[in-house]
Structure formats: structure tokens, C-alpha cells
Amino acid sequence: MKRLFDILPVDFYKPLTSKYRREYADCIMRIFNVFKPEISYGVNREIVVRELTDYFEADDVEMSFDDEVYVSDAREKANGVISVLKKCGWIEYEQETNHQINIVLCEYAVPIIESMNRVVREEEAEYQGIISQIHASLQNSELYNKPYELIIKGVQENTERLLSELKKLNASIKRHMDRQTNDMGADEILDHFFEYHKNIGSKAYLRMKTSENIAYFRTAVVERIEWMRETEDIMECAVKGYMEVEEIEDSRQARDEVISILNDIKSSFYRLDDIIEEIDRKHTRYMRSAVMRARFLLATGNNLEGKLLRLLDMYVQNLNAECGFEGLFSLYPQNFISPESLQTIPVTKKMEAVSGFSGAQGMSEADRLLYKEILSRKNRNRFSRKNINEYVVNLLGERKSVPVTEVPVESARDFIRIIYISIYAGNRSNNYTIKRSDRRVEIKGFSLPYFDIIKK
């Protein structure tokens, strides 16, 4: 089996690890974009030089290609970058019959640049799009004349891609959780929360749980895989196709490999539940953590909790400033009798027989009604989905929409309610939804993204 650096040149990644890595990365992307309208990954060298010259005319950084002479001229930098990329194996020169020099992108560099593009653009996968391709391939009877080439190989690749995209979503939620630190203020936590909700919560995660729920096709896919394994004619054609494509002469080995691929596809679809369950746990933990941190910081005021928090913050600042521990607290001696001590441990309480049960009645009917009213009032004040939905319905009244700026805010609790309105907006059983925008507004000294509350 080939290894990565059996294919890539030794210095291939050198431009991306140098001190000019940003410039080299930008130039590689620009060169790749120049090739897009062409019929091949080859273009006149002068066209590439002009493209990079335009880039360096806006970038005034001085570059050195030999660690001695620094170049500031845009065209010289363009030629220097082309020379380095050729030396490191990203591009090659090709001379045509008319002596024109073309720059050709090396074939092994293409998938790496495409991956760089996907990282920069942060493209989201359409989960249902991937799984519907798998389903369509398995259901298309016209493709079963060549089952390995036209069905199994593509289904295997799409299944691996589906698992990879779900794992990427899982990792992205973890990355957002790791960014939540104790050093964040309330405004930073809210900004981070709305960024997460826009890029993860209301996009990839919500789509995965609703419109692009992969469970819609899973049963049909698994049944089709089992049918292929049990149909001998299909398996014989698949084994022949595998031997031809993978260049294997042993039919028994080819059959084992085809069965292994089908089993892996089937088990992958059963493993999807574990991945989705892990994503659910992380998503819930992130949402709960963000809200609890925001509530804690927003609750800091002149009440007892706020005063204690300010005292603790002051102590922490003193410790960070290396002021020492003296004066921050006092130590008192603690005396106790050890079990190993020779002194007899005194019995402080004697157990006596119970004389009888008290004849006094328990809670009176009035106290019971008062207790029930207190519990009912506590439940009405909770930020549950039902309470938030009722609040929004009353707020909307006969209107079709209300801007977030019209939500009454008299205290920190009212501001926290706005956060919950945003959190529960994606719930399908609610009577409202929200329409977000890139604009920001300020309410009672707090900055947050603007959105409209819309009646369903």
C-alpha cells in the first residue's frame, strides 16, 4: 500500500509552514481559481504571473526567497512564488510547440487544494442529499448489471462521507464548547451563543433533526443491502466487477471483500444512532452551559449573590496580582478526638424508647392550598418551553410579527427570557418562529443580534 510521502515531494508543505504561509496559501488559491475556466489544469505562465502580481500590489509585505535579499516589487514576488511552488512540487512547467510555457498543476495537489477551499468556506453537508444518493443508487434496477462499479463502490464512498460529516458536526460542537471559558463576560457569552445558534444550532443540527433526518431512508437502505447479499446473481456480478476494478485474480478473496464492504455499510447505518446521540448530548450540554453562565453573570447586581461574587472576584484579582494570602482569611485550630486516642469518646446522646406518637395533625387545609399556590406560581415563572410559548403568544396578540426591541425588558430576568425565546424558536410545536438578521441592537445596555418574532 502506498503512503502519503511516497506520492508527495519532501518539501511539498514547506510553503505552508514558512513565515510567508498566508501569502503562499492565498497564491495557491488564486492559481487554482485561474485554472477553473480552463479545460485542464494548465494555463499560460504569463496569466498566472499577472494574477499573482495583482494580488501582491494590494499586499505590501516584503518577501525573501533566499533569506538574504528582500523583494518588494509585486511582479518579482509573483515570479518568486511561482519558482518556490515549482521547486516544492505544487506546479510544473509544460512547453508547447509554439514555445509557450504553461504552468500545470500537479495532480496530487488538486485534492489538497480542494480540501483547503472547503475548510475556508466552511461548507455544510446536505445530509439528506448524501443519503438520498445512496438510496437512489440501491433502488435503481438499471444499475444492477454492474453492481460493484455502479452501486456498491459509490454507496461505500457516500456512507463514509456521511459518517465523516456527522463526526465533523460533533467536533464543531465540541470546539464551540471549548471556547466557552470562565474569562468570558455576559456580552461575550451571548455573542458566542448567537454565533453558535446561527452556524450550528439552526443550520446543521436543526436540519439533521428535521428536514434532513437520515432515519427516513435507513430501513430501506439496510433491507436493500441484505437483499444484495442474499441474491446470488447479484453477488456473482459484484465479485466479477470487484476483480476487474481492483485487479484481483482470486475470486474467493474478491467475494470476501465484497461481503465485508456490504457488512461495513450495514453496520455504519446502525452506528449512526450512536453518533447522533453523542451530538444530541453535546448540543444540550452546550445550550445549558451557555444559558447558565449568562444567567449567573446577568444576575450579578446589588443583591447578596452579587455582592458575594464581587468579593470573590476581588480575592481572585488579589491572588493573581501575587498579593499573598495574608489578610484574605483566618485559620483557627480544630480539636477533635481521634479514634486512635486513649481517651474515651464521650456519648453525647442517649437513645431512649419512644413514648408514643404525637396526636397533632399535619398540614392544615389552608396551608396545603397555600403550598400548592406557591408551587403553581413557581411553575408559572419557570422558563419552560410551554411558558415561553404562552408568553410570546400573548405578546403577539393579533399581530403577525413583533421585533425583539418591543419585548418588555425591566430586569435581567426579562433579558434572559429573550434568550429562551431564541432557543425555543426552532421547536415545531411552538406557535411562533423567528427571523434573524446580521444587524445588532442594544436593549438596556446589552447588545444582541436583531430578530423578528413571527406568528406561525
> What's the CA gap between 298 and 98, in Å, rounded?
73
Q: For the ranges 156-170, 241-255, 325-339, 420-434, which has the lowest average pLDDT?
A: 325-339
> What's the CA gap between 437 and 278, in Å, rounded?
30
Percent with pLDDT over 70 in the chain: 71
Quick one: which of 274, 276, 264, 242 has its CA closest to 155? 264
> What's the CA gap between 348 and 345, in Å, rounded?
9
**From residue 196, how far is each of 133, 201, 305, 384 by CA, in Å?**
29, 6, 29, 21
Phi, psi of 436 (to 5 degrees): -90, 165
pTM for the model stands at 0.45
Pairing of strands 101-105, 91-95: antiparallel
Q: What is the 8-class DSSP label of residue 454?
A: E
Q: Which residue has the higher pLDDT, 330 or 256?
A: 256
> What's the CA gap between 130 and 128, in Å, rounded?
5
Q: What is the mean pLDDT of residues 435-453?
A: 84
Give the pLDDT band (50/70/90) at residue 66. confident
Tens-place pLDDT, residues 345-373 = 566 666 666 666 565 566 777 877 887 88
**From residue 169, how far is each of 124, 173, 278 by CA, in Å?**
9, 6, 11
User: Looking at residue 340, what is its pLDDT?
Assistant: 63
- β-bridge partners, 454: 401, 433
User: Looking at residue 27, what is its pLDDT?
Assistant: 92
Half-sphere exposure at residue 54, Cβ-oriented, CA atoms within 13 angstroms:
8
Of 22-36, 122-136, 168-182, the range with the highest mean pLDDT is 22-36
Q: 43: Cβ–Cβ under 8 A, 6 or more apart, which residues? A: 34, 35, 102, 103
Q: Dihedral through CA 66, CA 72, CA 76, CA 81, nearest 10?
A: 60
Domain positions in the chain are: 4-118, 124-298, 380-455
Give the pLDDT band (50/70/90) at residue 202. very low
CATH architecture of 4-118: Orthogonal Bundle (1.10)
333 φψ region: left (φ > 0), alpha (ψ -120 to 50), beta (else): beta
Percent with pLDDT over 90 in the chain: 12
Half-sphere exposure at residue 102, Cβ-oriented, CA atoms within 13 angstroms:
15
Residue type at position 264: D
Is the four-CA dihedral 291, 295, 298, 300 of positive or negative sign? negative
Q: What is the mean pLDDT of residues 128-150?
A: 84
Q: Which residue has the higher pLDDT, 14 or 175?
A: 14
Give the pLDDT band (50/70/90) at residue 438. confident
User: Looking at residue 313, what is its pLDDT?
Assistant: 66
Residue 331 reports pLDDT greater than 60: no
Quick one: which of 315, 280, 290 has its CA closest to 422? 290
